[in-house]
């Protein structure tokens, strides 16, 4: 029904547009000089017709189901009147299925009555939608038609419409973000109602399995997240030790030393690296790099876990190289050529120029590139799921297995879970911490970039 209403909206919009435009053309035919092109008259009229329809739909959508529900429940005979929420849901579902003819078996008399009420109420609601919508469209049409005139500023009026549409679109993006933040926040608060936040943030033991039966042992259900933060930090540091220098130096080579021909080949190749799915990096880490590190380590007499932090960190570092290099390349290229000329003109060599003029000028941008890379590394999941461990070891030894925040979130939520235990809720708390951390990094990075932009001109 709603989809039919959308079709109706499109039809009304097209009709109103055609009418408005032909009115505009008629004005021209009548020898009048138009303020706005005929097409704006059409757009103006179409907007005035569609807007009330959308308002009606927006108002109808939350109201109609409640009305239908109330009518259905009221039609139920007294003996079937539901006592609990669960029962209410069941009765409504049955009535709906009967009304749609999808009910398996024979419904009892009460349900059939309720189904009749359901169908009736639905039809009423749908008819109301159509009538109100068309009435709104008609009102808009009449109002708009009276305003159409040769000197009517349809062009300027449509400017407001454009603005509203643009605001609505950015509103969707912003509201989604806000919505996600709040839903994670509320789940986090639910978790902290069951588990003290202090123990979560500062506890040293992570063991999320909760005992289902009283006689189970070793299932303490402690949610001390420090080992996860430590593991995340360790892997992130290893990754940045790879991606930072390699990415930065690659960017310097690309922007300062490479001939245009080399650059034309090397840059796209580097960007292909950014296009490799992380799951591919993941099995590369788990199947190639980790065993290699283990073999090398053992031949040196070191004990290396088969899922070492080093393997995951190294591969993650390789993954974010293009991220660092392409952002740094941009900021290095943004340093004006005149500064380089100034330095060369003083008799500086190329590396002196880079070290003393280009890099200092580009430094804020490079720092923000590194910060964005860090937030990328911290939020990365697939590689660590495949290559890092699950055990929450509190260690800074890169040869041992560690686990990360993202791995634990994935582990806590994958499979059959009930979503009101401390175990699953802890995933939201972890997600919230992660989000908070990357958000903070992004804000800092953006601020640095803004400050950097003020440096020239």
CB closer to other proteins, 105 vs 345: 345
- Contact, 203 vs 224, CB < 8 A? yes
Per DSSP, the three-state class of 32 is: coil
* Alpha-carbon gap, residue 127 to 116, rounded angstroms: 17
Selected binder of other proteins within 77, 171, 196, 342 (CB under 8 A): 342
Binding segment (CB under 8 A) for other proteins, from list 318-326, 351-359, 371-379, 412-420: 351-359
Is 306 a binding residue for other proteins by CB under 8 A? The answer is no
CB closer to other proteins, 416 vs 454: 454
Count of residues that bind other proteins according to CB under 8 A: 22
Residues, the chain: 457
CB closer to other proteins, 299 vs 337: 337
- As measured in angstroms, the least distance from the Cβ of 456 to other proteins is 7
Is 338 a binding residue for other proteins by CB under 8 A? The answer is yes
Binding segment (CB under 8 A) for other proteins, from list 117-125, 176-184, 287-295, 356-364: 356-364
Is 455 a binding residue for other proteins by CB under 8 A? The answer is yes
* Alpha-carbon gap, residue 232 to 228, rounded angstroms: 6
Is 344 a binding residue for other proteins by CB under 8 A? The answer is yes
Per DSSP, the three-state class of 222 is: strand
CB closer to other proteins, 239 vs 357: 357
Is 339 a binding residue for other proteins by CB under 8 A? The answer is yes
- As measured in angstroms, the least distance from the Cβ of 451 to other proteins is 12
Q: How many helices (H) and strands (E) does the chain have?
A: 17, 2
How many Cβ atoms sit within 10 Å of the Cβ of residue 198? 9
* Alpha-carbon gap, residue 70 to 125, rounded angstroms: 12
Is 345 a binding residue for other proteins by CB under 8 A? The answer is yes
- As measured in angstroms, the least distance from the Cβ of 447 to other proteins is 18
CB closer to other proteins, 353 vs 438: 353
Selected binder of other proteins within 26, 246, 273, 348 (CB under 8 A): 348
Binding segment (CB under 8 A) for other proteins, from list 12-20, 133-141, 341-349, 387-395: 341-349
Is 151 a binding residue for other proteins by CB under 8 A? The answer is no
What CA–CA distances, in Å, run from 422 to 186, 228, 433? 14, 17, 16
- As measured in angstroms, the least distance from the Cβ of 317 to other proteins is 31
* Alpha-carbon gap, residue 250 to 240, rounded angstroms: 14
What residue ranges in 131-180 does DSSP mark as E strands? none
Is 456 a binding residue for other proteins by CB under 8 A? The answer is yes
> Which DSSP category does 221 fall into?
E
Binding segment (CB under 8 A) for other proteins, from list 197-205, 279-287, 335-343, 436-444: 335-343
Selected binder of other proteins within 239, 312, 320, 357 (CB under 8 A): 357
Is 356 a binding residue for other proteins by CB under 8 A? The answer is yes
What CA–CA distances, in Å, run from 31 to 34, 150, 235? 9, 10, 75
C-alpha 17: how far from chain center: 36
- Contact, 221 vs 197, CB < 8 A? no
Is 77 a binding residue for other proteins by CB under 8 A? The answer is no
What x/- string results for residues 254 through 283 when contact with other proteins is judged by CB under 8 A? -----xx-----------------------
Neighbouring residues of 422: CB distance < 8 A, sequence distance ≥ 6: 191, 194, 195, 210, 221, 223
Is 122 a binding residue for other proteins by CB under 8 A? The answer is no
Q: Give helix 38-75 / helix 2-29 axis angle, nearest 10°.
A: 160
Binding site for other proteins (CB under 8 A): 259-260, 336, 338-349, 352, 356-357, 360-361, 455-456
């Amino acid at each position: 029904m709603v989809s039919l209403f959308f079709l109706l909206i499109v039809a009304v919009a097209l009709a109103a547009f055609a009418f408005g435009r032909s009115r505009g053309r008629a004005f021209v035919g009548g020898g009048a000089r138009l303020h706005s092109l005929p097409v704006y008259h059409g757009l103006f009229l179409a907007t005035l017709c569609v807007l009330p329809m959308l308002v009606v739909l927006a108002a109808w959508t939350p109201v109609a189901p409640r009305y239908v529900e109330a009518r259905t429940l009221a039609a139920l005979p007294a003996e079937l009147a539901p006592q609990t929420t669960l029962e209410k849901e069941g009765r409504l579902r049955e009535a709906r299925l009967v009304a749609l003819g999808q009910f398996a078996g024979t419904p009892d008399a009460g349900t059939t009555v309720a189904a009749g009420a359901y169908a009736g109420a639905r039809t009423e609601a749908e008819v109301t939608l159509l009538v109100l919508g068309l009435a709104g469209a008609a009102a808009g049409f009449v109002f708009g038609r009276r305003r159409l005139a040769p000197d009517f500023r349809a062009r300027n009026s449509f400017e407001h419409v454009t603005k509203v549409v643009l605001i609505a679109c950015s509103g969707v993006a912003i509201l989604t973000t806000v919505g996600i933040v709040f839903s994670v926040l509320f789940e986090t608060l639910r978790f902290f109602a069951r588990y003290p936040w202090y123990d979560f943030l500062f506890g040293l033991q992570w063991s999320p399995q909760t005992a289902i039966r009283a006689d189970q042992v070793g299932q303490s259900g402690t949610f001390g997240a420090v080992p996860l933060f430590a593991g995340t930090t360790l892997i992130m540091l290893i990754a940045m030790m790879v991606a930072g220098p390699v990415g930065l130096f690659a960017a310097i080579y690309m922007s300062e030393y490479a001939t245009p021909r080399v650059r034309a080949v090397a840059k796209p190749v580097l960007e292909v690296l950014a296009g490799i799915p992380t799951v591919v990096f993941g099995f590369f880490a788990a199947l190639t790099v980790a065993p290699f590190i283990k073999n090398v380590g053992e031949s040196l007499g070191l004990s290396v876990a088969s899922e070492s932090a080093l393997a995951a960190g190294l591969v993650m570092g390789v993954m974010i190289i293009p991220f660092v290099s392409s952002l740094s390349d941009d900021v290095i290229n943004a340093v004006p050529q005149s500064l380089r000329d100034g330095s060369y003109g003083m008799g500086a060599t190329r590396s002196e120029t880079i070290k003393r003029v280009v890099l200092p000028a580009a430094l804020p941008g490079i720092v923000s590139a590194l910060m964005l890379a860090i937030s990328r590394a911290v939020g990365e999941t697939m590689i660590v799921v495949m290559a890092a461990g699950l055990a929450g070891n509190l260690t800074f030894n890169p040869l041992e297995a560690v686990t990360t925040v993202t791995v634990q979130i994935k582990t806590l939520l994958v499979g059959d879970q009930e979503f009101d235990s401390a175990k699953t809720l802890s995933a939201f708390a972890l997600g919230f911490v992660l989000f908070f951390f990357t958000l903070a990094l992004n804000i800092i990075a953006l601020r640095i970039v803004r400050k950097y932009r003020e440096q020239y001109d």
